[in-house]
């Protein structure tokens, strides 16, 4: 009995199944939930560092505490993993749209996602830098630690939310075209995105808005019923 030969270049059935699973809407939703949880947890750990207006004594006391450096390094690892999950989320969404993706909106979606991922990593790195210095055996200068915190706040609370609105708006536009999300969530996305864009505060809660939004979108993608055959829904199908 001879084994059946596949045509040259044809992937194995097991490979096809795994490709289908990795490119499914469920995988995008799971990646989105991992991203939301990872960014929220990682940033919450790093944001425990003294605020920019803290006294020198408060800064020295915090960075003299046990496990400060180790916790920061672990938080960075979580944020990196969450960022990879975010890129996977973006990749699956674009692959599901395929040729039906509007070029303009698709470019904004991809470009905004790449910039957002970069800003998040840079902001987290700057925020964690004094703690990483402690882990490396050094002692951060209070003035330098305050500047590091102020720079991180600028990246995470000023630049990042505005870029996140590009991802939110473009996602809403793509979802509306593909009928992949309910109308109430598309409207909510526009409202929250507009509020984030015009917000002029630098309060800490602003860094959690996008993770909360992507978690909501991901949960809806998981629980929303699959469309009937013939329904235009390239993202959620």
Tell me which of 62-66, 106-110, 163-167, 202-206 is least confident: 202-206
CA distance 41 to 28: 20
User: According to the model, what pLDDT value does residue 18 have?
Assistant: 46
Is residue 15's pLDDT more than 80?
no
Query: Taking phi first (over 0 means left), then psi (-120 to 50 degrees means alpha), and beta for anything else, what does residue 137 get?
Result: left
- Assess whether pLDDT exceeds 90 at residue 26: no
Residue among 82, 80, 50 at smallest CA distance from 65? 50
Of residues 192 and 27, the one with the higher pLDDT is 192
Distance CA 152, CA 37 (A): 20
Of 80-84, 140-144, 187-191, 221-225, where does mean pLDDT reach its minimum?
221-225
State mean pLDDT over 168-173. Answer: 91
> Distance (Å, rounded) from C-alpha 185 to C-alpha 208?
18
Question: Is 204 within 8 Å of 79 (Cβ atoms)?
Answer: no
- Using the predicted structure, report yes or no on whether residue 190 has a pLDDT greater than 90: yes
Q: Do the beta carbons of residue 90 and residue 116 sit within 8 Å?
A: no
pLDDT confidence of residue 117: 96
pLDDT at 36: 95
The pLDDT of residue 28: 81
pLDDT at 226 over 80: no
Top pLDDT among 194 and 17 is at: 194
What pLDDT score does 221 carry?
Answer: 84
Rg (the chain; Cα; Å): 21
């Amino acid at each position: 009995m001879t084994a059946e030969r596949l045509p040259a270049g044809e992937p194995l059935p097991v490979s096809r199944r795994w490709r289908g699973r990795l490119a499914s809407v469920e995988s995008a939703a799971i990646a989105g939930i991992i991203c939301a949880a990872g960014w929220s947890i990682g940033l919450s750990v790093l944001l425990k560092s003294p605020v920019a207006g803290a006294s020198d004594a408060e800064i020295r006391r915090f960075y003299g505490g046990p496990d400060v450096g180790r916790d920061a390094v672990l938080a960075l690892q979580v944020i990196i993993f969450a960022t990879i999950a975010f890129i996977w989320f973006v990749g699956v969404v674009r692959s599901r749209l395929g040729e039906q993706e509007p070029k303009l909106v698709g470019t904004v979606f991809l470009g905004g996602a790449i910039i957002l991922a970069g800003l998040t990593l840079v902001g987290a790195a700057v925020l964690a830098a004094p703690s990483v210095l402690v882990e490396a055996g050094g002692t951060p200068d209070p003035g330098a630690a305050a500047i590091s915190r102020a720079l991180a706040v600028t990246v995470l609370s000023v630049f990042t939310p505005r870029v996140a609105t590009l991802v939110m708006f473009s996602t809403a536009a793509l979802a509306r075209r593909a009928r992949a999300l309910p109308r109430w969530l598309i409207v909510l996305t526009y409202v929250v995105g507009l509020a984030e864009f015009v917000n002029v505060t630098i309060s800490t809660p602003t860094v959690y808005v996008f993770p909360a939004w992507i978690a909501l979108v991901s949960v809806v993608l998981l629980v929303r019923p699959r469309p009937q055959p013939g329904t235009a829904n390239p993202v959620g199908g």
